[in-house]
Amino acid sequence: MNAIISAAQLASDLAGARPPVLLDVRWQLSLARAAGEPAFDGRAEYEAGHLPGAAFVDLDRELTAAPGAHGRHPLPDPQEFGAAMRRAGVSAARPVVVYDGGQGWAAARAWWMLRWAGHPDVKVLDGGLTQWQGPLETGAVTPAAGDFAPVPGALPLLDADGAAALARSGVLFDARAGERYRGEVEPIDRVGGHIPGAVSAPTADNVAPGGRFLPAEQLRARFAALGAEGGEVGVYCGSGVSGAHEVLALAVAGIPAALYVGSWSEWSADPSRPVAVGPDPQ
């Protein structure tokens, strides 16, 4: 099953006999809150204009637990996640399409969470809202409650020890920007650098200008050149959001991959964990 859907195909599906549930997950990583400035308000953006019938999902409150020892965006409690998805109208037997403003990270996190929790049919709108040519709806939507009940474990998951082991035995991709991987800058976490053995694979390189994913064959070639050729593959990022986007790109390429949700925000907070710097994995 393809993990992404074009705007044209989505418009066709919405007009069909079995239209998908739509989830709007607009969110941006921002340092504004830490600086005392207003943070990006995804709900306000949603209410100003969204796909007709879409329900808003708050990434920070419904797709993650509170920040703590396991990182900035740790896994939410499965029961609380299931309740949030039911409020948004998600049912097990109905397809789901998730989208954001165009970056794709937040939509990918929603896709990953639903797939990890056992939903069988979830797609991301390729390129997000920027690709949609149809009408928009304003205000909030309160959908009929769904029946989705999470059964976690449908997608592979890594913890810190598992990520360290995979960096030695398989391929562990670091989806952050190259300068963060190399340790040249670190705007958020305690220290810069990367997990020893991890390979730099910025998720930004998986998309074309405009935010749509590169064709599957180009993605397969890219990941193969980085070492993903038949062995186990894992991904991490800053806090398990952009890393979900890389897992999605790997899925488009036909390569299964595990996500280290705690990612660098968990790893770097533990002084006992080793840190590598520079352009080389080791």
What is the full DSSP assignment across 34-84? TTTSPPP-HHHHHHHSBSTTPEE--HHHHSS--SBTTBSSPPPPHHHHHHH
For the chain, the farthest-separated pair of C-alpha atoms sits apart, in whole angstroms, at 55
What integer is the mean pLDDT of 186-191? Answer: 92
| Residue 32 binned pLDDT confidence (cut-offs 50, 70, 90) | very low
CATH of domain 4-131: 3.40.250.10
Q: What is the per-residue pLDDT for 39?
A: 58
Beta-carbon contacts of 129 under 8 Å, excluding residues fewer than 6 positions away, are 24, 26, 50, 51, 99, 100, 101, 102
Residue intervals of the chain classified under CATH 3.40.250.10 are: 4-131, 157-267
pLDDT band at 29 (very low <50, low <70, confident <90, very high): confident
Question: Is there a catalytic annotation at residue 237?
Answer: yes
Instruction: Indicate yes or no: pTM above 0.85.
Output: yes
Contact between residue 193 and residue 276 where contact means Cβ atoms under 8 Å apart: yes
pLDDT of residue 278: 97
Catalytic residue among 75, 84, 141, 237: 237
- Mean pLDDT in the chain? 94
What is the structure's pLDDT at 120? Answer: 97
Average pLDDT over residues 138-158: 97
Q: Does domain 157-267 have CATH number 3.40.250.10?
A: yes
